[in-house]
Structure 1
Amino acid sequence: MIKFLGKFQKVQNFIHSTVIVSSQLRGISTNATIVKSAVFNLQEASKDQVQEFVKSFDTVVTDCDGVLWLSNNAISGSADTINYFRKIGKKIYYVTNNSTLKRSELAATATKLGFIACPEEILSAAYLAGHYFKDIGFTKKVYLLGSDGLGEELESVGVRHIGVGPDHVKPNVKSTKPSELDPEVGAVVVGFDAHVSYPKLLKAASYLASEQCLFVATNMEERFRKPDSIVIPGTGTLVRAVETCSARKAVVVGKPFKYVRKYLASIGLNSARTLMIGDRCSTDIELGVRCGFQTMLVLSGATSPKELETLRNSKTPPLPDVVLPKLGDLLSLVC
């Protein structure tokens, strides 16, 4: 295990300033000195420090893939830790950039893996996309590069859509005519689409040629790595492709962008007493920092110890307040 910090004095020059407090913790402390973005290995804290840390937040906002489970398998101890938080009175919100499943499906997955969860506690990128269109009173049709789950979240707020599933590649795809486009389309939405193709990119760019056509993306994660060295291109790869061919920029509703921050603010979270848990600095920790939350990075998903050490040494923001190998390790430290 990498020694992220031997002493807190080593991080005095980090991006965020040092604050002296008497009782409430921000992150973790030594002699009442609180250091934000300290990348502190919580396993090096005393039990009293860990207990004070847990007492310092009332709400937990957690990512799912890579923090709670991987490939639909719960990460050891993660369910026990989240359920412990709930038992001692913490509010739990599951915030994920997964755009392929409905909230009810994600809640069912969580429950199957041992987590106490209900759809109302789940904030997915698919749900946020539907909520966005509901917010603006959208009445036209969406051209969707995405999945059935994203389409169903749009349908749940009355938004019609086309485009889900494979699109037949014609011998001469460049011969597509304007009459083949749906005149009712008033927005293009890009989520994760395993059926992405040249015809889909052509149609998305053609719809977006109209300045009145909205352009919305669920998230910007470029890729995901599996233990067997397989790299899965993420939604961000598709968004960049559509942005390139349309010469437009998408409004992104997922982490860590403005819309999800606005939504979290609307449910009345106390920023100073909220903990954001994630496995990726560029989305999860960034969201926490922008919202003013405390932040915890776990190394069970997207970020490896080596990658985190590189970020820490280069002082590349955003950096987490505390770090653990996996979320399940917290329970043994506090109990």
Structure 2
Amino acid sequence: MDGAVGGLKGCLKVRGSQIRHLLEAKDTFLFDCDGVLWHGEKAVPGAPGVVNTLIGRGKRVFFVTNNSTRPRENYVHKFYRLGFTDVRREQIFSSSYCSAVYLRDVARVRGQVFVIGGKGIRDELREAGVPFLQEEEQERRLDVDGQPQPDATIFNCDLSADVKAVLVGHDDQFTFLKLAKASCYLKDPDCLFLATDNDPWHPLKDGRILPGSGCLTAALEVATGRKATVIGKPSRFMFECISSQFSGVDPAQCLMVGDRLETDMLFGSNCGLDTMLTLTGVSQMEDAEVYSKSERSTEQSFVPDYVVDSIADFLPAFEELD
């Protein structure tokens, strides 16, 4: 279908038969999760039906999320709990899982990883067989008898001689000591510096926001004068993970559906995928229109090819196909 309905491209609001044409033209669908499929513990109305129907019709469906707080097994449980009953673990490509794959298969790290992050990252590293410093090793110091002592600081804590990579993700237990230790490890130019993602913030209820992993990564970049290699969106690596594990994934046959222009749409553009913005999350049509008028090529990459109010807009198109 040459990347556009009716030859048009860029911020095209689609519905009905236009979505049906997309469903006929594409064999692979990539979905962001938060803001697209659900909000917290509540599914976006109609989203489970869309995902289950796509899978039931034999489409390839993958989930690409920068949220590093859950291992894939927990995501499977969440999908099922919210009504997405046909989702399997191998369809889920989270930033924590892809970071573990990168460390194991691309970087082939020989040594331990110092983690700024939570359980989701640690579980994925453990399953991939990537060694990392245990949390108690990161936060404590020992006395002469080997007993842990409180109030460790960068002046008196132990530093491991075997750390070969620093991985930064979402960490709601972030401390100055973690920042200081990571900075010390990254003084070694051979120590890898990775970030699960670079998201700046996430929306909460009542207009509040939650600082994202990008804030922690930025602090460490300032402290070290180094730039992190970002694994999650908008980096291409998540799509490369999918392509390496599933043969025959053709970018021209893929549609990336997300709610954040600067992350999801840019990811799709970087990977050569058609993109669709759903208005149930962070970015709105007005934001996309501002970028569409920009003369900067980078900001043009934020512009979606297609726009829907919600992925529930797919449901009438399925009826047309029957």
- Select 1:280's aligned residue among 244, 260, 263: 260
CA drift of 1:263 comes to 1.9
Instruction: Check whether the contact 1:147–1:191 (CA below 8 A) recurs between aligned residues.
Output: yes
CA drift of 1:264 comes to 3.0
- Select 2:97's aligned residue among 127, 133, 140: 127
CA drift of 1:333 comes to 4.3
Alpha-carbon deviations, 1:302-321, whole Å to 9, x = none?
A: 21343233333446322111
Match of residue 125 from structure 2: 154
2 CA distance for matches of 1:48 and 1:298?
Answer: 17
Instruction: Check whether the contact 1:222–1:233 (CA below 8 A) recurs between aligned residues.
Output: yes
Match of residue 210 from structure 2: 232
- Select 2:280's aligned residue among 296, 300, 304: 300
2 CA distance for matches of 1:146 and 1:208?
Answer: 17
Alignment of 1:156-195 (within 5 A): 156-162=127-133, 164=135, 167=139, 173=153, 175-176=155-156, 180-195=158-173
CA drift of 1:128 comes to 0.6
2 CA distance for matches of 1:242 and 1:88?
Answer: 46
2 CA distance for matches of 1:147 and 1:174?
Answer: 21
- Which secondary structure does the structure 2 equivalent of 1:161 belong to? coil
Unaligned runs of 5+ in 2: 141-148
| Pairwise CA RMSD | 2.1
Alpha-carbon deviations, 1:22-79, whole Å to 9, x = none?
A: xx352311xxxx233x111113xxx433321210100111111110011121011111
The alignment's TM-score, normalised by the length of structure 1, stands at 0.84
- Which secondary structure does the structure 2 equivalent of 1:296 belong to? strand
1 CA distance for matches of 2:205 and 2:11?
Answer: 25
- Which secondary structure does the structure 2 equivalent of 1:175 belong to? coil
Instruction: Check whether the contact 1:25–1:56 (CA below 8 A) recurs between aligned residues.
Output: no
The alignment's TM-score, normalised by the length of structure 2, stands at 0.88
Match of residue 146 from structure 2: none
Unaligned runs of 5+ in 1: 1-23
Match of residue 9 from structure 1: none
Identity of paired residues, percent? 31
Residue 317 in 1 paired to residue 300 in 2? yes
Match of residue 88 from structure 2: 118
2 CA distance for matches of 1:51 and 1:183?
Answer: 57
